[in-house]
Amino acid sequence: MKTLHVELGDRRYPIHIGPGLLGHAELLRPHIAGRQALVVSNTTVAPLYLEPVRAALDGLRHEAVILPDGEQYKTLETLNTVFTALLNHRFDRHCTVIALGGGVIGDLAGLAAACYQRGVPFIQIPTTLLAQVDSSVGGKTAVNHPLGKNMIGAFYQPQCVLADTDTLATLPDRELSAGLAEVIKYGLIRDLPFLEWLERHLEALLARDATALSEAIERSCRNKAEIVAADERETGERALLNLGHTFGHAIETGVGYGEWLHGEAVAAGTVMAADLSARLGWLSQECVERVYALLTRARLPLKPPPTLTSGDFLRLMAVDKKIKDGQLRLILLRALGQGVIACDVDARQLHETLDHALTHP
Amino acid sequence: MKTLHVELGDRRYPIHIGPGLLGHAELLRPHIAGRQALVVSNTTVAPLYLEPVRAALDGLRHEAVILPDGEQYKTLETLNTVFTALLNHRFDRHCTVIALGGGVIGDLAGLAAACYQRGVPFIQIPTTLLAQVDSSVGGKTAVNHPLGKNMIGAFYQPQCVLADTDTLATLPDRELSAGLAEVIKYGLIRDLPFLEWLERHLEALLARDATALSEAIERSCRNKAEIVAADERETGERALLNLGHTFGHAIETGVGYGEWLHGEAVAAGTVMAADLSARLGWLSQECVERVYALLTRARLPLKPPPTLTSGDFLRLMAVDKKIKDGQLRLILLRALGQGVIACDVDARQLHETLDHALTHP
């Protein structure tokens, strides 16, 4: 097991990474101060992993709420079912909410914890690669609104993150690939050696080689923890983590939540960001090809869905959280391993990127 | 105009109290960093005061969302209409949400600000006595759940509070009285000289004497600001502000949100707290009579509604936010001007208080 920390002063917390952590009471229990715990999971994950987690909670009052699986359920309405469960069980503000699942469960359970009785403690047990390398770390919680993804949320840090790599054994291939999109992101925005390592180990990751997966998770979490410690509330550097996300969120909202996996949308968005970076003269064609090649090997989509138009993108991106005074801010690449926040993107070049992406051969 | 501050380090903010503040652009504008403002108000307050506030926002992009009036609309569903308005107007995370109204509007707009794009700036312009002396100060935001009042919320501090005492001229008598319940609370829990001042000036307050009202608001806000600065997240002393509220919330939830005003329920709850304090030997019968007399003069109810039973109270109080490990914690009075958090209340004496309160002559 490896342990990293997110250094946030008196809200510092550990990320434990390794096999067999899920039912590990000694890792879990020190982070539960009260006598009540609600596990929030979904219909896919609960049958696989709920029992060991509940066993590790033996001696506490523990209950579970099992939500339907999918991004389309990351809504205010589903959030309310968690509040109803907490109130029906008469859980008080010393209870702990435990998210057991992927990014949707972590984001939603985290927001429930942030808002239940104005805030109760919260633990992340991510069971997908995407959640282990990205969404479970850093305290971003949210649900979607029909008009925009993750528009309703809070910054709310967990007490700890338990990333049990054994859970990746049951992960569908499509979800594994989706997680790799976020892994590759860290290499692209700030960690060239990691990008090169990924180019060497991508097949091992796809083959679910335990050592390779552990290393990828650890290096991703180390990048994430550093960024979050430096800029918890995204007033600057943290925005780099949104490489591909402005385009990606437009795809997810545009085709309907749950159609594309978040990581898939991020991959297509990353391609668009690389393309635009090349048009701005920042990225050589050779570098762009390296991005495409790596995402292709990871079995990720390089193109947005053909149903979306340029106009859809512009409309959907107009509510992006990085917008300031009507000005779109995009995360682009100055070079491989060097993300930048671009505030002054030329509209013509943005249109060229959209047109290029939407031209399906 | 008087100005107090809530001392919360780099989140320190002013409370301006006085006549004619509502359309005072110079007070408002320094607290608006971005270029967009959404005023959240209701169908009662907007016709009276929306225009001067919007005039003070001239030069910014300002929009308004007008909600129905009443505690029964302080729901997750109404909250979502605020998110929808923000998204329809394409407001970004540099926008400011301005609450213009009473406690319901302040609580709901505050939570909308806390959660929109994970937090946007927020300004309180309270237009009821209750909101000016209590709910607009201190950063408690919330909506109700059918199973419990204020169960979904956040601690989220405003940029400033503008308490325009002129707005009290249009306040219905019933709302004025409801506000006095929270004013009297400060005297009871920690400020005996203020309680004595209230005993001398209650008729002036009911007659809406401007000097008396200003002094009552200022002394209330001073008490509130001190408590919040010492214990923002209610880990201790701040709980004293809930005198009468555990019983009161049970009344509000029990009879249906919107039937009783919050301040009315707090008044009846304060009587129950005084009664229980007397049964515990803390408060003399003479002191209890002083509490009853003051609340009576303020035209507040002393008894809970006859439709509620002892069992209703026990069931509804079982989800109170001050509960820990199944143990009810009540705010009681050791003496006039001295509130205490009582963790070990004898069940028999609590039942006696409930039976006494529910016995209508």
Of A151, A170, A189, the position where a domain reaches its end is A170
The model's pLDDT over A268-281, given as tens digits with 9 standing for 90+, comes to 999 999 999 999 99
- Torsion of Cα atoms, A173 then A177 then A180 then A182, to 10°: -120
Using N-to-C axis directions, what is the helix angle for A173-190 and A192-206, rounded to 10°?
170
Residues belonging to chain B:
361
Active-site entry in B74, B262, B290, B321: B262
Structural domain harbouring A52: 2-170
Return the H-helix or E-strand segment holding A270.
Answer: helix A262-279
Q: What is the mean pLDDT of residues A142-167?
A: 97
Query: For residue B173, with 0-12 CB atoms within 10 Å meaning exposed, 13-18 middle and 19 or more buried, which class applies?
Result: exposed
What 3-state class would DSSP assign to B42?
A: strand
Q: What are phi and psi of A332, to 5 degrees?
A: -125, 180
| Same-domain check for residues B16 and B74 | yes
| Same-domain check for residues A155 and A177 | no
Q: What is the pLDDT of residue B45?
A: 98
Tell me the whole-structure pTM to 2 decimals. 0.96
Point out which residues pair with B161 in neighbouring strands: B15, B124
Q: Residue A53 pLDDT > 90, yes or no?
A: yes
Query: Which residues of B are less than 8 Å from A140 in CB distance?
Result: 118
Mean pLDDT, chain B, rounded, equals 96
Of A154, A170, A186, the position where a domain reaches its end is A170
Question: How many CB atoms neighbour CB B75 within 10 A?
Answer: 18
The model's pLDDT over A286-315, given as tens digits with 9 standing for 90+, comes to 999 999 999 999 999 999 999 999 999 999
Which stretches of B10-66 are DSSP H helices? 25-28, 46-56
Cross-chain residue pair A34–B93, CB shorter than 8 Å: no
**Residues B318/B350, Cβ–Cβ less than 8 Å:** no
Q: What is the pLDDT of residue B113?
A: 98
Query: Which residues of A are less than 8 Å from B76 in CB distance?
Result: 76, 79-80
Of B129, B155, B170, the position where a domain reaches its end is B170
Taking the Cβ of residue A236 and every Cβ of chain B, the question of whether any pair is shorter than 8 Å is answered with no
Q: Residue B2 pLDDT > 80, yes or no?
A: yes
Q: What is the pLDDT of residue A344?
A: 82
Q: What is the mean pLDDT of residues B329-349?
A: 94
The model's pLDDT over A170-188, given as tens digits with 9 standing for 90+, comes to 999 999 999 999 999 999 9
- Geometric angle at alpha carbon B157, from B33 and B117, rounded to 5°: 60
The model's pLDDT over A95-132, given as tens digits with 9 standing for 90+, comes to 999 999 999 999 999 999 999 999 999 999 999 999 99
Q: Residue A16 pLDDT > 80, yes or no?
A: yes
| Same-domain check for residues B211 and B223 | yes
Counting residues of chain B whose pLDDT is more than 90, the rounded percentage is 94
Query: In the numeric block, which tokens belong to residue A256?
Result: 């309907």
Q: What are phi and psi of A164, to 5 degrees?
A: -85, 110
Q: What is the mean pLDDT of residues B151-171?
A: 97
Select the residue of A87, A154, A325 nearest B115 (Cβ to Cβ): A154
**Residues B113/B122, Cβ–Cβ less than 8 Å:** yes
- Touching A: B residues 31-60, CB under 8 Å: 34-35
Taking the Cβ of residue A347 and every Cβ of chain B, the question of whether any pair is shorter than 8 Å is answered with no
Point out which residues pair with A2 in neighbouring strands: A17
| Same-domain check for residues B158 and B284 | no
Give how far A45 is from chain B: nearest CA, Å. 27
**The one-letter amino acid at A96:** T
Query: In the numeric block, which tokens belong to residue A341?
Result: 């926040």
CATH of the domain at B330: 1.20.1090.10
> DSSP string spanning B68-102?
PPSGGG-SHHHHHHHHHHHHHTT--TT-EEEEEES
Q: Residue A325 pLDDT > 90, yes or no?
A: no
Chain A with chain B: Cβ pairs closer than 8 A: 109
Q: What are phi and psi of A302, to 5 degrees?
A: -100, -10
Point out which residues pair with B61 in neighbouring strands: B36
Return the H-helix or E-strand segment holding A223.
Answer: helix A210-230
| Same-domain check for residues A160 and A188 | no
Q: How far apart are CA A77 and CA B6, in angstroms?
A: 35
Give how far A308 is from chain B: nearest CA, Å. 20
Q: Which of A143, A324, A345, A354 is nearest to A239 (CA)?
A: A324
**The one-letter amino acid at B330:** L
Query: In the numeric block, which tokens belong to residue B169?
Result: 């001229």
Using N-to-C axis directions, what is the helix angle for B76-88 and B103-115, rounded to 10°?
60
Q: What is the pLDDT of residue A361?
A: 66
**Residues A8/A137, Cβ–Cβ less than 8 Å:** no
The 10 Å CB-count burial string (b at 16+, else e) for B273-299 is bbbbbbbbebbeeebbebbeebbebbb
**The one-letter amino acid at A158:** P
- Geometric angle at alpha carbon A265, from A261 and A271, rounded to 5°: 150
Return the H-helix or E-strand segment holding A122.
Answer: strand A122-126
B234 is catalytic: yes
| Same-domain check for residues A108 and A204 | no
**Residues A18/A27, Cβ–Cβ less than 8 Å:** no
Return the H-helix or E-strand segment holding B123.
Answer: strand B122-126
Give how far B138 is from chain A: nearest CA, Å. 13
| Same-domain check for residues A247 and A187 | yes
Q: What is the mean pLDDT of residues B268-283?
A: 97
Question: How many CB atoms neighbour CB B355 within 10 A?
Answer: 10
Domain total in chain B = 2
CATH of the domain at B126: 3.40.50.1970
Taking the Cβ of residue B148 and every Cβ of chain A, the question of whether any pair is shorter than 8 Å is answered with yes
Q: How far apart are CA B29 and CA A236, in angstroms?
A: 25
Q: pLDDT band for position A23 (50/70/90)?
A: confident
**The one-letter amino acid at B174:** R
Q: How far apart are CA B211 and CA B214, in angstroms?
A: 5
Q: What is the pLDDT of residue B34?
A: 93
Q: Sign of torsion, CA B59 B61 B67 B70?
A: negative
| Same-domain check for residues A160 and A242 | no
Q: Residue B344 pLDDT > 90, yes or no?
A: no
| Same-domain check for residues A312 and A180 | yes
Q: What is the pLDDT of residue B322?
A: 85
Q: Residue B361 pLDDT > 70, yes or no?
A: no
Q: How far apart are CA A321 and CA A341, in angstroms?
A: 13
Contacts of B6 (CB under 8 A, 6+ apart): B12, B13, B15, B137, B138, B157, B225, B228, B229
Q: What is the mean pLDDT of residues B240-251?
A: 97
Q: What are phi and psi of B198, to 5 degrees?
A: -65, -40
| Same-domain check for residues A132 and A179 | no
What 3-state class would DSSP assign to A259?
A: coil
Query: In the numeric block, which tokens belong to residue B262?
Result: 């919050």
Q: Which residue do the tokens 């569908």 mark?
A: A172
| Same-domain check for residues B94 and B209 | no
Mean pLDDT, chain A, rounded, equals 96
Cross-chain residue pair B324–A155, CB shorter than 8 Å: no
Using the 8-state DSSP alphabet, how is residue A5 labeled? E
Q: What is the mean pLDDT of residues B200-211?
A: 97
Q: What is the pLDDT of residue B323?
A: 85
| Same-domain check for residues B322 and B185 | yes
Q: What is the pLDDT of residue B324?
A: 82
Cross-chain residue pair A117–B154, CB shorter than 8 Å: no
Using the 8-state DSSP alphabet, how is residue A343 labeled? S
**Residues A197/A316, Cβ–Cβ less than 8 Å:** no
Q: Which of A168, A153, A248 is nearest to A216 (CA)?
A: A168
Q: Which residue do the tokens 């006549």 mark?
A: B19
Return the H-helix or E-strand segment holding B17.
Answer: strand B13-18
